Chain A
């Protein structure tokens, strides 16, 4: 308990220090492109609640859809590669060759194929997460010792029962750490995709404020975007805490 309080206190301290640096920069620069923290926070609290909720909601929905899609496909392919040496041999070179392609470079291709709408935004997030999830699921499943299945096999467990009770929980820790790492990239890419073809989302909100030269609101949007990212990280931590209790 005491350690948790200390942890929160330290986070708050860092947050305050960052604001202080920001304020000092503002004093040094003394230019409208960098407003002081005060007006930015005021602008943030003056934002219309419904408007903010709509933009944040759209961004979260896209992230959620992208992550779920990547998880479903990644889990299936990773499972196939982890459990079957044949499919691992077939798919390994494919993953190996496509993994280093910077997925953001595929943005125009995705836009060409899937238009400027929701599909291409969600697909970009999926693309970024997918390969890392495939690789970590495969490695996570391979790392489960074969003997872990023995007792369940001997009492006649079905393939589905073995999947839910051994394979999935065994691979979960790597899946969670992969999501934690690639979530940051996914959020950045989301920003790019929200610049075009939409009137909702955090990326749109920030760029719109920028176009209107409303710098306080622009910074307020950036802060809000960062906050959403922070909450998502906390969520992954929470999942980690809930499902990884067994790892002492």
Chain B
């Protein structure tokens, strides 16, 4: 059994370099407790997407250790729900089949067709898109596609949930609706979640803690700043924006941004 210390997602001395040798991530250390949700903000080039790709197993090589509840992620025994910025839906499969294939692969040998159908129906309803099951992704709006992508990520009941700027291509109204929907569903079925965004507001609205990545400069292996955000996180979504804690947090982050990202 894993001790309490090794619970959750452990990132130790993570290093990632491009082919040309340029370091994208140098010595990143981060501990994400099980069932915690952290938001990550950083300027472009800070390696925040690279961090997600490393955890998702999409990078062929990286240095350092990635463990979840004591098991190395390299062993592929941890179920990961990924929500990419471009939704990552297969255009030639219907909404229903997109989720179905993910279930078939991620939960191979578990339950039959009926169990999958129940799961698909449940998450399509939860995301408010039950009527779109037979549609193809290209005929949907960006917001609808992202709902499908989130439904798919939740449906496989992942241990780790990774979101890579999922709402950045959406308009403000759609984004707000989806933030609320996402947070509500995450509370229903909590998974250890890492949410990458470039939007300070979104980072404060969704994270228990906020990881502010240092600007990616080749030599400096600066540690990311981790801010406690529990004061805002405990509030109702509707009340968050008007709270004093939100304003305070926003000011703090902007100050860090000015210091670190210059």
Interface on A for B, CB 8 Å cutoff? 147-148, 150-157, 161, 165-166, 169-170, 172, 243, 245-248
Cβ-defined partner of B82 (8 Å) among A150, A165, A170, A246: A150
Give the distance in Å from the alpha carbon of A165 to the alpha carbon of B82 in the complex.
Answer: 17
Report A80 CB to chain B, min CB distance, Å. Answer: 20
Number of contacts between A and B (CB, 8 Å)?
65
Known: A156-B76, A165-B101. A147 touches B88 (CB 8 A): yes
Give the chain B neighbours of A243 by CB distance below 8 A: 92
Q: A152-B105, A156-B105 are in contact. Are A248 and B82 (CB under 8 A)?
A: no
Q: How far, in angstroms, from A245 to B137 measured CA to CA in the complex?
A: 11
Instruction: Provide the bound-state CA to CA distance between A166 and B89, in Å.
Output: 10
Which residues of A have CB within 8 Å of B88?
147-148, 150-151
Can you add 11 more A-B contacts, CB < 8 Å, to A150-B88, A169-B92, A170-B92? A147-B84, A151-B88, A151-B149, A151-B152, A154-B58, A155-B105, A156-B105, A245-B136, A246-B92, A246-B94, A247-B91
Q: How far is the CA of A204 from the CA of B152 in the complex (A)?
A: 57
Contact: B57 with A153, CB < 8 Å?
yes
- Min CB distance A141 to B, Å, is 14
In the assembled complex, the Cα of A157 lies from the Cα of B76 at a distance in Å of 10
Sample of 23 A–B contacts (CB below 8 Å):
A147-B84, A148-B88, A148-B90, A150-B56, A150-B88, A151-B84, A151-B102, A152-B101, A152-B102, A152-B105, A153-B56, A154-B56, A154-B57, A154-B58, A155-B80, A155-B81, A156-B76, A157-B105, A165-B93, A246-B92, A246-B93, A246-B136, A248-B138
Q: Which residues of B approach A to under 8 Å, CB–CB?
A: 56-58, 76, 79-82, 84, 86, 88, 90-94, 101-102, 105-106, 136-139, 149, 152, 156, 162
Q: Which residues of B contact A157 (CB under 8 A)?
A: 105
Which of A148, A245, A246: most chain B Cβ within 10 A?
A246
Cβ-defined contact, A155 with B79, below 8 A: yes
B145 CB to closest chain A CB, in angstroms? 13
A152: nearest chain-B partner, CB-CB: B105
Residues of B within 8 A of A155 (CB): 79-82, 102, 105-106, 156
